[in-house]
Structure 1
């Protein structure tokens, strides 16, 4: 929900300079202060190669980017397959304060005050409704509601958006959506252990021994040698433990459990060599020291390629997801990464006391039990974020797919379909596709009846409750 309790772009990191086909939307800085008329430029992309205005126009798909620099990468993923299948227009939307969608001149703590999910949801609402209205007027077709897609934090956004703005969203596909804000997120560490156990006791025990070796080296005053190997000589010890443990966790989070276990086995308890291997294999591909180092995260200058300070602000002030050591299994995180560490860490970065409002947010949007309809929740069995999502439900109007398969992890369903996809993924994608087809057919039927867009949700609910 991808480093600093990190969740990342399901399609991988992108260079800003490589993606130039974007458009701009004049977005409000503050949607809730009627006296504030400030605006900023928010990026979006339009893929209309499969869409036609004939017969009232094809459906509209909206993919939400999250806590990363956005790109047009969804056009190569599974969502593009769905868009082509349904003749949909696929629009990609960049989150405020990330990438080139910057509302302020810098990332000072004061200027981050408009970085919150209420503002982000309102951004989506204004953009989506304006786009749909202008499209309808241009092509003389009915105004359309959207089908939303998102993975990780945006997987939660599409669920919350469907809850708050059903007159704009006809449904949502939430991939690894972290809808349940958990302040003390010890369950994350436990799922990492669960995934390692699937390789047999030897792998889990080997990684436990590796972590214990590293902890012992620090306690014996020899931690600087490990920090030097990891190119982190200036980091505080506690922040290095955060960096170190999350690199191991992210290897699992993105489907690398089997390869990690094999690599650790091949080095046969040579812990110095294993630590070096993990650094050379993983660090730099998805993360680096600066994503965890408080000194780096204090940097207020805007950098389009950076996202650490912004996401840290969001989880420190709103959601939590603070990753502490496991309570019910052998912990793979250092015991010093407790709640006191997180309180100090967040306060150190932003120069003032901070605390997440997890309970408040869950009360507003239902946490793991939202009163909602027409949302698909996809998860991966080995995803450490899955305790913050919805894995099963008694609500007959939402659909859960836990994807119980090997190396099936974070946002696995959104990846580009390949021949080696697990049978479980293929099966659940087909089931979800049938649900999406049913939603779109019903929406098209209601559109043809000239029902005002504000009344379509009520008519939809009447039909699905029959």
Structure 2
């Protein structure tokens, strides 16, 4: 069964693609946010009988499943005032975490008198086809309906259902998403312009496909983040890999490493340790948000260790600083979450993000090997990935040349300390497709809740985004006025 997938051995370094979650960093450092107390009492949950397959007319395509969406009417100006709708597009996780952590909608609800809608992505959370998660993830035949095109069609259908149900045909819709969800928001605006007036795509790496972005870009930014934080920390990490390999090659070397890093189970090979450390450094960089700044935390542990300690003791001090005091670290016995399993299918089908590790980083070189990736996916699902499909279906090549005349009303926001920002849109495409980025920002930081401790550059980024959206809506109302006058004359 797909649910029992585990990846081990050296192939995993080529196979794993860093998660594209807008909430992972926030929830990792504050898991209490998922408590019911953190979620607003103003949220109302609904279910929509969603079509399984929007693009075929075979009998099985007409099957339905219950797709969850949540609404907040508290500050909505109402249908009679044509007040706007802000629709958050869920990504590769249950919707619960987004309700607790995504703040942009709630923070702007009063300003725009907006109705807030949050829609869960198919195959996650409670939006499971085929009656159960076990059946939905059974094999490639049931997983075949699990893709981005079906997802944005789901979102479009639910948004149109809500507008019809509330009789709010002329309320402009702004779709908002982060990371993979940010890509979905931009693609929905391009594919369904009659459904969404505009899109805020936060940390959306829509150019990290095919060969649009250098394959080593992600880990180059991780390295840059650490090097700029602390040169000594960077050098310690860079030099640690060969030390791990040297010890692992010795008799009882894995036992020595297991003891040194207080692993939860004895290491089977050095890759387990190196993979965990690499994930930690990448996650710290991707979610290097104020006020804690995880890269600074890791380097504080490494640099703060006793100068007489050996290099691996310093590395372990960084692990403890990042993860806190635990009974054990590395290879904790945990079951793969539905998010991990779902994202693995998505990256093994269409979301083939060719992230590798090149030379001149603080990591050991490990280039992305497409053939090996395809073989791994074939062994798991029996079907090969389609590495060129995203750019075929959504575009990406010569993006400015194409979209400056074709598209409109999209904000691509990024923080340049986010390794995924290298696959984002960092320059304005036109007067209405804008790139708003901050030098010090991290992954999806702009759509997380506002806080009094927010640095000025983050406050300005959010203000700029709000001003652009306000302009879209004002222009929409101005363009709508002649239509309303004509309708009134004909009535």
TM-score, with normalisation over the residues of structure 2?
Answer: 0.78
Structure 1 pair 39–274 and aligned structure 2 pair: CA distance change class (3 A): farther
Kindly indicate whether the alpha-carbon contact (under 8 Å) linking 1:58 and 1:88 is maintained by their aligned counterparts in 2.
yes
Structure 1 pair 270–395 and aligned structure 2 pair: CA distance change class (3 A): farther
How far residue 265 of structure 1 moved from its aligned partner, in angstroms, is 0.3
Find the aligned partners of 1:423 and 1:148 in 2 and give their Cα distance: 25
Structure 1 pair 277–225 and aligned structure 2 pair: CA distance change class (3 A): same
Which of these residues, 129, 142, 148, is aligned with residue 175 of structure 2? 148
1:132-163 CA-to-partner distances (Å, cap 9, x unmatched) read: 11111xxxx44434101111000110011111
Find the aligned partners of 1:354 and 1:174 in 2 and give their Cα distance: 29
Structure 2 match to 1:266: 304
> Is structure 2 residue 390 aligned with structure 1 residue 364?
no
Which of these residues, 295, 312, 316, is aligned with residue 257 of structure 1? 295
Find the aligned partners of 2:155 and 2:323 in 1 and give their Cα distance: 33
TM-score, with normalisation over the residues of structure 1?
Answer: 0.82
1:318-362 CA-to-partner distances (Å, cap 9, x unmatched) read: 1222432124x22425638755654454344x24353342x3311
Find the aligned partners of 1:38 and 1:135 in 2 and give their Cα distance: 26
Query: How many residue pairs get matched?
Result: 430
Which of these residues, 23, 44, 57, is aligned with residue 34 of structure 1? 57
**Residues 34-113 of structure 1 mapped to structure 2, 5 A cutoff:** 34-35=57-58, 36-53=61-78, 55-71=80-96, 73=99, 77-104=103-130, 105-110=135-140, 111-113=142-144
Structure 1 pair 44–38 and aligned structure 2 pair: CA distance change class (3 A): same
Which of these residues, 436, 450, 453, is aligned with residue 401 of structure 1? 436
Structure 2 match to 1:173: 200
How far residue 425 of structure 1 moved from its aligned partner, in angstroms, is 1.4
Structure 2 match to 1:426: 459
The SS at the match of 1:362 is: helix
Structure 2 match to 1:127: 158
The SS at the match of 1:198 is: helix
The SS at the match of 1:212 is: helix
**Residues 58-457 of structure 1 mapped to structure 2, 5 A cutoff:** 58-71=83-96, 73=99, 77-104=103-130, 105-110=135-140, 111-136=142-167, 141-182=168-209, 185-220=215-250, 222-223=253-254, 225-226=256-257, 229-231=262-264, 233=266, 238=271, 241-255=274-288, 256-267=294-305, 268=307, 270-280=310-320, 282=322, 306-327=338-359, 329-333=360-364, 335=366, 338-339=369-370, 342-348=373-379, 350-352=380-382, 354-357=384-387, 359-367=388-396, 369=399, 371=403, 372-405=407-440, 408-450=441-483
Structure 1 pair 284–99 and aligned structure 2 pair: CA distance change class (3 A): farther
Kindly indicate whether the alpha-carbon contact (under 8 Å) linking 2:34 and 2:100 is maintained by their aligned counterparts in 1.
no
The SS at the match of 2:138 is: coil
Structure 1 pair 252–87 and aligned structure 2 pair: CA distance change class (3 A): same
1:9-54 CA-to-partner distances (Å, cap 9, x unmatched) read: 4253665988795221111111112232100011111011000226
Structure 1 pair 75–205 and aligned structure 2 pair: CA distance change class (3 A): closer
The SS at the match of 1:58 is: coil
1:289-325 CA-to-partner distances (Å, cap 9, x unmatched) read: 589x9xx65xxxxxxx621111011112212224321
Find the aligned partners of 2:322 and 2:311 in 1 and give their Cα distance: 16
Deviates more, 1:68-77 or 1:151-160: 68-77
Structure 1 match to 2:6: none
Structure 1 pair 8–118 and aligned structure 2 pair: CA distance change class (3 A): same
How far residue 203 of structure 1 moved from its aligned partner, in angstroms, is 2.5
The SS at the match of 1:205 is: helix
**Which ranges of structure 1 fall in alignment gaps of 5 or more residues?**
298-304, 453-466
Deviates more, 1:105-114 or 1:24-33: 105-114
Find the aligned partners of 1:227 and 1:445 in 2 and give their Cα distance: 66
Structure 2 match to 1:24: 47
Find the aligned partners of 1:100 and 1:437 in 2 and give their Cα distance: 33
How far residue 207 of structure 1 moved from its aligned partner, in angstroms, is 1.9
Q: Which has the larger radius of gyration?
A: 2
1:396-436 CA-to-partner distances (Å, cap 9, x unmatched) read: 3211122012xx21011112112222222122222221111
Kindly indicate whether the alpha-carbon contact (under 8 Å) linking 1:241 and 1:333 is maintained by their aligned counterparts in 2.
no
Structure 1 pair 85–234 and aligned structure 2 pair: CA distance change class (3 A): same
Kindly indicate whether the alpha-carbon contact (under 8 Å) linking 2:446 and 2:462 is maintained by their aligned counterparts in 1.
yes
Find the aligned partners of 2:459 and 2:322 in 1 and give their Cα distance: 28
